[in-house]
């Protein structure tokens, strides 16, 4: 149970994102939309464990062709699976993880691994069964993020991070596929905002943030499995 012992039950609130470059933003190549079509954790052999000895299975290791294919866990002992972990061909190294943070029986986060390292997360931050936030990871830190604020299937916010601290963000506020606003950050604090007022895809108005108005720096965003 140790691998699943401390399930995170709150989703990180992402700040707005700035990014270099102007004009039209290219679409991302990651899948969009519902989590409902995720493949099930099923196999020919199941090793079941009742962790809290209440007569109900809490952890299941599912095998296919003699190797561990996936693991299912009920973190809050309510009889529903909250975490699913899928493995590489060796049956040991993690390939993907799925989490249900609000315990409603539906997935809220997908985590993707390469060579045992977390490289991307997809989140449903408002629990409507549709992915609206994408995070890219490197060495345990968020390095890039995209968000669909309108929940219409189109990304309208792009963020860039360094060591988990946001450095730049850009926004498509009218959902026309073109950036209208850019933010720049220093040490996690907003220092400059630029606007495109004439719709040519280039910033033509700037607003520097006074030092006394910068407020608290945003926390560095770590990119960890289940968080």
DSSP E strands in 42-93: the ranges are: 45-49, 59-64, 67-73, 83-87
- Report d(CA 118, CA 159) in Å as an integer: 19
CA separation for the pair 28, 18 (Å, rounded): 16
Measure the CA–CA gap between 186 and 193, rounded to whole angstroms: 12
Q: What is the pLDDT of residues 2-33, one digit of tens each?
A: 343 333 323 332 333 333 344 555 455 566 66
Contact 210, 221 (CB under 8 A): no
Measured in whole angstroms, the distance separating CA 168 from the mean position of its chain's CA atoms is 18
Query: Rounded to an integer, what distance in angstroms lies between the CA atom of residue 206 and that of residue 100?
Result: 42
Alpha-carbon distance 225 to 227, whole Å?
Answer: 6
Q: What is the pTM of this model?
A: 0.77
Query: What pLDDT digit, counting tens, does each position of 158-185 carry?
Result: 999 999 999 999 999 888 888 999 999 9
How far apart CA 104 and CA 79 sit, in angstroms, is: 11
């Amino acid at each position: 149970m140790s691998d699943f012992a401390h399930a995170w039950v709150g989703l990180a609130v992402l700040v707005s994102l700035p990014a270099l470059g102007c004009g039209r933003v290219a679409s991302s190549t990651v899948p969009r939309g519902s989590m409902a079509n995720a493949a099930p954790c099923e196999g020919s052999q199941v090793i079941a464990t009742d962790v809290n000895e209440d007569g109900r299975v809490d952890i299941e290791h599912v095998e296919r062709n003699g190797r561990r294919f996936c693991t299912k866990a009920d973190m809050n002992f309510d009889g529903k699976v909250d975490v699913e972990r899928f493995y590489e061909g060796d049956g040991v190294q993690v390939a993907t993880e799925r989490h249900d943070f609000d315990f409603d029986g539906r997935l809220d986060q997908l985590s993707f691994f390469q060579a045992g390292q977390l490289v991307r997360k997809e989140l449903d931050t408002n629990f409507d069964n549709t992915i609206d936030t994408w995070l890219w990871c490197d060495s345990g830190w968020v390095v890039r993020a995209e968000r669909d604020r309108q929940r219409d299937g189109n990304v309208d916010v792009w963020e860039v991070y360094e060591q988990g601290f946001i450095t730049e963000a850009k926004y498509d506020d009218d959902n026309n596929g073109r950036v209208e606003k850019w933010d720049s950050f220093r040490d996690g604090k907003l220092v400059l905002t630029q606007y495109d007022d004439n719709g040519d895809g280039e910033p033509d108005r700037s607003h520097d943030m006074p030092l006394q108005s910068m407020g608290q720096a945003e926390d560095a965003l770590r990119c960890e499995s289940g968080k």
